[in-house]
Homo-oligomer: A and B are copies of this chain.
Amino acid sequence: MSMPLTRSVRPIAPALHRLSRLATLDNASITALADAVARPQQFRPRRDLMVEGRDIASPHLILSGWAARVRILLDGRRQFLNFLLPGDIVGLYHHRRPVAPTSIITLTEVTTCVPPELGTLPALDEAYAIAHAMDEAYLLAQIARLGRMNAMERIGDLMLELHERLELSELTHGRSFDLPITQETLADALGLTAVHVNRMLQAARRAGDLIWSSRSMTIPDPKALARKVGRAQIKVTAG
């Protein structure tokens, strides 16, 4: 905490922690990751990491901060497709000349680096594959959320998902986590309006389901909430 080296490594620890949990990484993989992390890139809030339809200049491994994949309709309606949290990887594909399927925008100050290439380190490839499968699982969860849950359930379900994901990188504090976004951003992720999200958040607080103040979201009783919104666990490999 007081040593300079520690200080500089600290903020990126969660991202690496999560990646190294997905598969058993050998020394070569860890070295490659350390090299990658040594060349961080900084982005201010509301900057594009990628633009839909353009070639992907380079993939990103999120080291700190929040970003989101976004799709904008012609008349300006906006839908966030998923959130990108520390440890998440985007733009890594197995085929030539990949085109970004969506734009990616930073929601907060964000640090990224270029992850080690696919196909050079088997252990890392395995981690990538698992990370990718989890991404897909969360996209599927998002579809069910938007298609079949009401506003209250969507909010609860998303908060549980975020808590679960942040836990993997040890970015939670017990039943709380930092939620550095606005209600409008939340609305765009949930397919609702900011006004309605506001009302539902108040209802959730009255019901004792969710308490959000000064950027800290608390889920007093995750299990009870999970039951209430009818939520299943995300699981990607057996055993």
Contact = CB atoms under 8 A, between A and B. Distances in A.
A144 B101 CA distance: 12
Contact of A144 (B55, B73, B97): B73
Most B Cβ at <10 Å: residue of A77, A96, A148, A236: A148
A238 interface: yes
Nearest to A191: B147
Contacts of A146: 143, 146-147, 191
Chain copies in the assembled complex: 2
Interface stretch (A125-133, A161-169, A203-211): A125-133
Interface string A98-109: 110110000000
A120 interface: no
Contacts of A79: 143-144, 147-148
B102 A140 contact: yes
Contact of A142 (B137, B143, B148, B232): B143
Contacts of A1: none
A134 to B, nearest CB: 9
Contacts of A234: 101
A94 B125 contact: yes
B73 A148 contact: yes
B98 A133 contact: yes
A148 to B, nearest CB: 4
Contacts of A143: 71, 79, 81, 139, 142-143, 146
A69 interface: yes
A180 interface: no
B144 A237 contact: no
A237 B147 contact: no
A190 B147 CA distance: 7
A136 interface: yes
9 contacts: A69-B140, A78-B148, A93-B129, A97-B237, A98-B237, A101-B137, A101-B234, A102-B140, A142-B143
Given A81-B140, A97-B237, A139-B140, 5 more contacts: A53-B232, A73-B148, A79-B147, A99-B236, A146-B146
